[in-house]
Structure 1
Amino acid sequence: MKITGFRSLVALHDWGRPVGDVNGLVPSGITEVPILLVETDGGLTGIGLGAHAEIERVFPAVEGADPRAVASLYDAMLAHVFKSGHAGTTFGTIAAVDMALWDLKAKMADEALWRTLGAGDRFVHGYASGLCYGLEDDAFAAHYERWADLGFTAAKVKGGRDLDRDISRLKTVRAILERNSPRPALMLDVNEAWNCKQALRHLAEIEKRVDLTWIEEPVRRWDAAGLARIAACSRTAVATGENLTGIEQFNPLFDQRAVDIVQTGSCWGITHFLRVAMAAHAQGLPVSPVAYNANPLAHAAVAVPNMIGLEIQDFSFPEGFSVDQEIRDGGLVLGDRPGLGIELDETRIAERASALGWNVRGGPHRRAERTGLCLAPSAGLAADQGRER
């Protein structure tokens, strides 16, 4: 079987609530889901999820190849773009192709991807999330009540702008999840909103009130020295890595002992996750993949020895998606449908192919102008809100 071509689709995901983080919100709760379909001469089609703007540039590296050679083709794509670099949209495109190739490889074996990758159990331990920054207090509590109903004992809260609000919300989630565990795991994700001194000061205050499992992206993703200082000076574990594009970008974090929980984003693909997971395993560190629509990294997460928990962000799937998995018992149960377990209703997807909330100037997650530069959180909030109006 040979790779012959590709097609692109854009589906919509209606979250039913505002979604976002400290860097920006999508008030409509409707986000776009780019889909790459890799076609073969054997009639099978591989599905890759994620933006792939550089597909015309990357595709020649895999065209005509046997899709089962996924690892070799991944390196071939990296080599193909070597001179101009592989970061950003190029790395995302490579990831979408890579995901589609893994989907094809498992479909050719007529088995679920988690089996192709050597996992022995279909259950993936998870933690509750939800891009919950824009929810009002009552909606915020109701959101995590739903996770508690599904047996979750761990949750991550979005914060970073108002310390009192962050502490209050962590306490709210703790009280909700205590019905499933006497000591639920609590995480706070500030999406690179602090500088090092702010992180140390804020964490010291949080640690007086809450037993925090990890702080996620407290400072900029490349600030190995700052992350190392935070890791050394606080009881809370430091989680980071979801925005790093390439295994080599993790080396400074490993060298400076700047990360305790190693993360990768689903938008960077399955081979990237597998390689980062093994690099982290060699350092004695756990890995935690960050979620994405239809949770494709769940298949890889359950196959590595050091996975600590998969982020699960929503209860439903994008429109036009049928996904063979179930959220229950505090995690995700993967099915037996071949490949990623995703089937697409292309007619329905085409009918709804108009994204809302994303195609705005700067995008929904545009970093605020004075992020990390405000002495008092309330002053920063007022300034940001004034600019938004």
Structure 2
Amino acid sequence: MTVGPVDGCRRATATGGRTLMLTPGAHGAMQITGITQHHLTHQLDGAFEPTWIPGYPQGVHELELFEVETDAGITGITASPSFAGGLDYADALSVFLAGEDPHDVEGILRKLDAVDLVGPRPWHVELALWDIIGKDAGKPVYELLGAAAEPIPVYASTGEAQPADERLPYVETRIEEGFEAVKLRVESPGDIETVRGVREAFPELTLMVDANKGWSVRVAREEERWSFADALGFARGLEEVGDVAWLEEPLPRHDYRGYARLRKKTDVPIAGGEFNDGPHQFREFVQQESLDVLQPDAALATGIKRGTEVAAMADLHGLEFVPHTWTNGVGFAANLHVMAAADSAWCEYPFEPPWTPAVRDFLLTDTIEHDGGYIEPPSGPGLGIEIDRSVLDEG
């Protein structure tokens, strides 16, 4: 994107060579001048079948990278998941953001509320604002949020539903790497046998279990849906397994009453909310006493500011706050800053070869790695990450 004066306006040329006229705002010491979007793809070394895309072998990591530029020469970065061919909406975002002061996070969030009415979801855009603010202040986002970079324990988050005999070598390797917890994916109520098998082999290991019934990308086929009876029966099976930190999304993400009923009938903590939309839906979870663990992803559900508001809500009501992080390296970094501010008990660490941390972070100059089962947010200014410009050239 090139930016320069054109008849009292600013010109933003987005990816693909299209030109949009941007009128500067009249307030703020710093102004957003334009947005550059890059559709990036990264080939995996093989494929895996994520439970959230039923029947689809994923062999490519695709995302939309956005660079939010300012008249101070500071650029903020953010990214969102994408599909084949990409979702091009930099021009639409520029209409709302051009001339705005990136420090006015709440004001821009109100504008993004309008974008959210017609889609696509815009909450990842707010991550770039914090990147700019942090770079301007010379501080990492977690410091701006009043936090310190304390180590957070990670749990290995699987992506496929596999029988126990196939999953056991994976679990053993993760334990050797320092992980003290693993999250298993399940699709059918009968997959309780996978959980039993892993528990029998690793009696001291903390387990999380994700049914992925909150949402689904129905590209290849429909997901297997669970009734309330299915969810309750599975939860009762987990009670027998023991030491299960939570059962995640066994019901659709807006079934607040169903979750409340389930929570009252089982001793297993219930988690969810990764793809709910905005803090008001988390207020609904809290008011209806639906969940024990709130899991908003800053890149998908809330942004950073509203993510910390949900964390405060969780703390006030004695609930856990453990965000979903399975998007890309930018989203992972942003969620780490939120987790530091919220003092989260766990960090989700996506790991399902060929999906690895290096694949997640392919667009970054450095991979964000755990150290012996613990992780800290990046310590550089802003989000603390840098884009590998050679990847942009390839894209």
> TM-score, normalised on structure 2?
0.77
Is the 8 Å Cα contact of residues 15 and 29 (structure 1) preserved in structure 2?
Answer: yes
1:42 is matched with 72
- Say yes or no: does 1:301 pair with 2:335: no
1:107 is matched with 135
Deviation of residue 21 (structure 1)?
0.8
- Say yes or no: does 1:328 pair with 2:358: no
Is the 8 Å Cα contact of residues 238 and 268 (structure 2) preserved in structure 1?
Answer: no
Structure 2 stretches lacking a partner, 5+ long: 1-29, 82-86, 214-224, 352-356
Q: Which amino acid aligns with 2:300?
A: C
1:372 is matched with none
- Say yes or no: does 1:59 pair with 2:94: yes
1:289 is matched with 323
1:318 is matched with 361
> Aligned equivalents of 2:206 and 2:362: distance in 1?
32
- Say yes or no: does 1:73 pair with 2:108: yes
> Aligned equivalents of 1:89 and 1:220: distance in 2?
21
Segment drifting more, 205-214 vs 138-147: 138-147
- Say yes or no: does 1:272 pair with 2:306: yes
Deviation digits for residues 126-178 of structure 1, max 9, x if unmatched?
21103133x57666334333422331111211102252x443245326735x6
Deviation digits for residues 327-350 of structure 1, max 9, x if unmatched?
123231333222222212233244
Deviation of residue 200 (structure 1)?
1.0
SS at match of 1:322: coil
Q: Which amino acid aligns with 1:303?
A: A
SS at match of 1:277: helix
Deviation of residue 244 (structure 1)?
0.9
Is the 8 Å Cα contact of residues 87 and 245 (structure 1) preserved in structure 2?
Answer: no
Among residues 24, 35, 53, which one is paired with 1:6 in the alignment? 35
> Aligned equivalents of 1:174 and 1:98: distance in 2?
44
> Aligned equivalents of 1:216 and 1:117: distance in 2?
28
SS at match of 2:342: coil
Is the 8 Å Cα contact of residues 114 and 299 (structure 1) preserved in structure 2?
Answer: yes
1:131 is matched with 159
> TM-score, normalised on structure 1?
0.78
> Aligned equivalents of 2:315 and 2:165: distance in 1?
40
- Say yes or no: does 1:263 pair with 2:306: no
Deviation of residue 303 (structure 1)?
0.8
Q: Which amino acid aligns with 2:381?
A: P
Among residues 300, 322, 345, which one is paired with 2:388 in the alignment? 345
2:234 is matched with 202
The root-mean-square deviation of aligned C-alpha atoms, in Å, is 2.5
Is the 8 Å Cα contact of residues 183 and 208 (structure 2) preserved in structure 1?
Answer: yes
2:209 is matched with 188
Structure 1 stretches lacking a partner, 5+ long: 354-389
Deviation digits for residues 217-240 of structure 1, max 9, x if unmatched?
111111111111110111101101
Is the 8 Å Cα contact of residues 53 and 89 (structure 1) preserved in structure 2?
Answer: no
Q: Which amino acid aligns with 2:40?
A: A
> Aligned equivalents of 1:2 and 1:303: distance in 2?
27
Segment drifting more, 113-122 vs 235-244: 113-122
2:172 is matched with 145
Cα pair distance change 1:282/1:293, threshold 3 Å: same
Q: Which amino acid aligns with 1:236?
A: V
Among residues 242, 264, 278, which one is paired with 2:274 in the alignment? 242
- Say yes or no: does 1:31 pair with 2:73: no
> Aligned equivalents of 1:190 and 1:312: distance in 2?
17
In percent, how many aligned pairs have the same letter? Answer: 27
Deviation of residue 251 (structure 1)?
2.7
SS at match of 1:342: coil
SS at match of 2:152: strand
Deviation digits for residues 193-243 of structure 1, max 9, x if unmatched?
422111112222332234322110111111111111110111101101112
Is the 8 Å Cα contact of residues 174 and 186 (structure 1) preserved in structure 2?
Answer: no
Among residues 161, 171, 175, which one is paired with 2:197 in the alignment? 171
SS at match of 1:258: coil
Segment drifting more, 38-47 vs 48-57: 48-57
Larger relative contact order (Cα-Cα within 8 Å, sequence gap ≥ 6): 1
Cα pair distance change 1:50/1:234, threshold 3 Å: same
SS at match of 2:230: helix
Cα pair distance change 1:98/1:220, threshold 3 Å: same
